[in-house]
Amino acid sequence: MYAPRMASILFTRGAPSLDIIDQEGLRDAAQKAFTDDPGGTFAYGTSVGYVPLRSWLAEQHGVEPEQVLVTNGSMQADAFLFELLVQAGDDVVVEAPTYDRTLLNLRQRGANIHAIELETDGINVDALEKLLESGVRPKLAHIIPNFHNPAGYTLSEAKRARLLELSAEYDFVLFEDDPYVKVRFEGEPLPTMLSQDKNEKVVYASSFSKTMAPGIRCGYLVGPKAVIKKVQDIATTTYISPNMVAQSIVNSYCRSGRLDESVVNVRTALRARRDALVAALERELPEAVFTAPQGGYFMWVELPGVSIEKLVPVAKEHGVEFVKGSDFLLEGGDNEMRLAFSGVTPDQIDEGITRLAAAVRSLS
């Protein structure tokens, strides 16, 4: 038995550790932002966000600024979009598993949630098509295309194309929720569905939480002008304007070129963490089933025959914590868990998986 006073190793939270945040760059960006544009930084802004950042994002995505709205984190962007599109009783599609807060938010809105199996190359589009053919008409389908939370999987190019077709054919919003896109550490990036959307069906969301710092709370939506305009009205009523000080710092940081540098650092660190996790699992828990992600923060691990419900408290006693798979599902997930490797160093990962294996062995 491990000593109870030992600090737990946390695979729980999808947050970067402080060592991969460019603190000096952010300090410089704040100085520059406050000096170069005090008017835009300190005054009330508008509900579309800090205008120069909106323009920068529009350029990045090759769209018009009127298609972009910058928010206090992408969670707030999601909440606005759901407020606009999803009323009680409305059908919506999510992936199974999916981000637990999305599930919670949609549940609280009283949505009729259809969870479609997530495969290692993304949502099962055949199952989705069958659902649509059965007569269900969702308001939206929520899709996390890259380095899925919680699964770590990436949506294939073919499935992206199929989803675009289905959304046009059955007239639903394809909500492309893409906060991890830049945290790819191997393989070629795939084009966003947004960039291939010919039917104004995609609303895209992303964030600076994974590439700059979560505490900056800066996310954004990109979509058809008419949708963005309606979201803007909700944003105005909610908070007049999002945080101008934070968005002005983000803008200054992005335009300084340091974002690219920061992304490289984040990728390098996370690749090493992923590698450490894969190596430790193969060594300590050879029965574990998983697909190593090509990017992002998370890995979905199945331990056949192990009750994760029972494992959680035992693992905690052994000094290691994670989130049980069932939190990301409407049903099932009894043998699955999410391991977040973003906030732990390779050494901690190695030790953490050793502890996890000891906990698993102690169950039998």
283 is a site residue for a copy of itself (CB under 8 A): no
Distance CA 355, CA 315 (A): 7
Q: Which position among 49, 73, 97, 145 is part of the footprint of a copy of itself (CB under 8 A)? A: 73
170 is a site residue for a copy of itself (CB under 8 A): no
Are residues 165 and 154 in contact, defined by beta-carbon separation less than 8 angstroms?
A: no
40 is a site residue for a copy of itself (CB under 8 A): yes
Distance CA 183, CA 255 (A): 19
Binding mask 206-245 for a copy of itself (x = CB under 8 A): ---x---xxxxx-------------------xxxxxxxxx
Q: Which is nearer to a copy of itself, 141 or 244 (CB)?
A: 244
Q: Are strands 140-143 and 323-324 parallel, antiparallel or unpaired?
A: unpaired
Closest CA to 329 of 165, 101, 115: 115
41 is a site residue for a copy of itself (CB under 8 A): yes
Distance CA 249, CA 295 (A): 26
Distance CA 108, CA 86 (A): 11
36 is a site residue for a copy of itself (CB under 8 A): no
Q: Which is nearer to a copy of itself, 65 or 73 (CB)?
A: 73
Distance CA 128, CA 142 (A): 12
Q: How far is CA 36 from CA 57, 213, 244, 349, in A?
A: 19, 22, 14, 43
Q: Which is nearer to a copy of itself, 242 or 325 (CB)?
A: 242
Identify which range of 38-46, 257-265, 275-283, 323-331 contacts a copy of itself by CB under 8 A. 38-46
139, two tokens: 């308001």
Binding mask 240-279 for a copy of itself (x = CB under 8 A): xxxxxxx-xx------------------------------
Binding mask 76-105 for a copy of itself (x = CB under 8 A): x--x---------------------x--xx
Helix ranges (DSSP H) in the chain: 23-36, 38-42, 51-61, 74-85, 100-108, 125-133, 157-170, 225-239, 244-255, 258-284, 308-317, 346-363
Q: Which is nearer to a copy of itself, 94 or 174 (CB)?
A: 94
Which residues in this chain contact a copy of itself in the complex, by CB under 8 A?
Answer: 13, 15, 18, 21, 23, 26-27, 30-31, 34-35, 38-45, 72-73, 75-76, 79, 101, 104-105, 108, 209, 213-217, 237-246, 248-249
